Amino acid sequence: MTVLVTGGAGYIGSHMVHALVDAGESVVVIDDLSTGFSSVLPRTVPLSVGDAGDETLVGNVIAQHRVESIIHFAGSVVVPDSMRDPLGYYRNNTMTTRSLMNSAVKAGISRFIFSSTAAVYGNPDQVPVSEHAPTRPMSPYGSSKLMTEIMLHDVASAHDMNYVVLRYFNVAGADPDGRCGLSTVGATHLLKIAVEAATSQRAKVDVYGTDYPTPDGSCIRDFIHVSDLAQAHLAALSYLRGGGGSITLNCGYGRGYSVLETIEAVRRVSMRNFAVSYAPRRPGDIMTMVADTSRIRSVLDWKPRYDNLDTIARDALTWEKRLFSERGGHPKRAESA
């Protein structure tokens, strides 16, 4: 039996595919390659290029490969973009997932793992934030993910399906074996921006707000290594296969690092003192977002291996250096296929 990974050629999806293959699983990927790169996939994994919301395509893939579980990553993930194009985000995230769920129901798929986000919480009343916290998304991106969570709950209640929703905090780093990483030039992730500055692809790193009531005045985030996140999905799959019921889980480490601490970690591992520019706060930025991880640690057989900011920064930097070299030392956009 096979696991279908949608968005499997993307940043997190490709790490998931490698983790599944490493675990001896049969895998098939659907990805439209709009932000993914087929070159990072294992050669043994079949790739169907197309939209995860294309019910004909998905139905054929499920039947051809005898899919028994779905891990769903495909979607749009940039918060500022969602503010400019909310309808695009509701299409790519909510409507696509509705169609994917319909395909799953028709095929009798009983296990579904969904890639959600801490953005569903908005500005939390209490930190660390637990899964019971109120959901008050501050962007169409967060809203589109929350709508999908609600939809998944209703579908699972009406049909023979159990799910795990994993709410990611700040995903960073790259595969320690160098097989994949964040390849998109111009990505908005803080660590990506910092390693681009460390490799002379950016003139500086902008820090928005240094007057927050935090130890150093900058925002605080809970970073999780992308390989640990992939292992959390494997543990979620094992949980569902073992008869586990539907559940929503935070995915983080339960500790926060400030923006300035994160920049210093990249400076430390790169031994480069790149420039930092200080700007006013941005509207909508959340001051502190740290996960309460007690539930995931108690429910899943999951033990993080890379819970160290320098390790996360070093793996991200190693991957960025490889990309920069492959692009001939020029910061240009890589091809998607």
Residue numbers annotated as active site: 141
Note whether 210 and 132 are within 8 A (CB).
no
Measured CA to CA, the distance from residue 305 to residue 315 in angstroms comes to: 13
For 58-127, give the DSSP string.
HHHHHHHHTEEEEEE--S---HHHHHH-HHHHIIIIIIHHHHHHHHHHHHT--EEEEEEEGGGG-S-SSS
Measured CA to CA, the distance from residue 145 to residue 136 in angstroms comes to: 12
Residue type, 60: N
Residue 166 is given by DSSP the state E
Buried/exposed code over 107-121 (b: 16+ C-beta within 10 A; e: otherwise): bebbbbbbbbbbbbb
* Tokens matching residue 315: 């793996």
Place of tokens 């920049």: 263
Q: Distances from the Cα of 110 to the Cαs of 53, 202, 250, 303, in angstroms? A: 18, 46, 22, 26
